Chain A
Amino acid sequence: QQPVQSPQAVILREGEDAVINCSSSKALYSVHWYRQKHGEAPVFLMILLKGGEQKGHDKISASFNEKKQQSSLYLTASQLSYSGTYFCGTEPGDSWGKLQFGAGTQVVVTP
């Protein structure tokens, strides 16, 4: 079952913040976040494994609410290099090797 991401797209000015949400209908083992720039392969940002765990990657951080089966990605003080499509991937707790991705959130950061 693929996770649901929102919003579909967001436009930011440099320095602004944004939040991308990811939710699943199944109990999760992990949540992954990736960013894909146009014409390039997706690049790993972070994995979250425990309920309520927050991780960071530069000024990009994420949280994982295990009970709600939800994760959020926080883009803080956005930079032009943050532009791209962000995908969350979820892996169910009752099976392994089945990382399914959401539809993606297109982020455009303007000067």
Chain B
Amino acid sequence: ETGVTQTPRHLVMGMTNKKSLKCEQHLGHNAMYWYKQSAKKPLELMFVYNFKEQTENNSVPSRFSPECPNSSHLFLHLHTLQPEDSALYLCASSQATLGGHTGELFFGEGSRLTVL
């Protein structure tokens, strides 16, 4: 139990579906992150919310849409995905420094996404 909870743990969706991944942190942190982990690839930073504002999107395709309604919750909205988007999506939180630098990351267990 890392204090970061992700749901659902597994998701199978068709290319025309719309779904959302949810992340909740109980650690009082001020920054939350979405990372994508594909087989044989490095962890890819997708989005950063620092002090509740999105600060980094790393040129992620628009079929991925993040939402951070408050500092404890983070969503990743998915629509018209491609099979190559199948991966493990990891949410993490940290206590960022006043300068915005990343502190120790606490990861959730991840949401395993399969796009058919």
Interface residues of A (CB under 8 A from B): 2, 29-30, 32, 34, 40-44, 47, 87, 89, 91, 96-104
Contact = CB atoms under 8 A, between A and B. Distances in A.
4 nearest A-B residue pairs (beta carbon): A96-B100, A41-B107, A101-B43, A97-B48
Given A97-B55, A103-B42, A104-B42, A29 B101 contact: yes
Q: Is the interface of B mostly helix, strand, loop or mixed?
A: loop
A30 B102 contact: yes
Contacts of B99: 96
A30 B42 contact: no
Contact of B45 (A30, A98, A102): A98
Most buried by B among A32, A99, A102: A99
Contact of A96 (B33, B101, B106, B109): B101
Contact of B105 (A44, A96, A100, A102): A44
Contacts of A32: 102, 104-105
Contacts of B50: 96-97
A47 B104 CA distance: 7
Contacts of B42: 2, 87, 100-104
A97 B56 contact: yes
Contacts of B106: 44
21 contacts: A32-B105, A34-B105, A40-B109, A41-B2, A41-B110, A42-B105, A89-B102, A89-B105, A91-B101, A91-B102, A96-B50, A96-B55, A96-B96, A96-B99, A96-B100, A97-B96, A97-B100, A99-B45, A99-B105, A100-B45, A101-B42
Contacts, number: 69
A101 B46 CA distance: 12
Nearest to A87: B43
B4 to A, nearest CB: 8
B104 A44 contact: yes
A59 B8 CA distance: 36
B63 to A, nearest CB: 22
B103 to A, nearest CB: 8
A47 B106 CA distance: 13
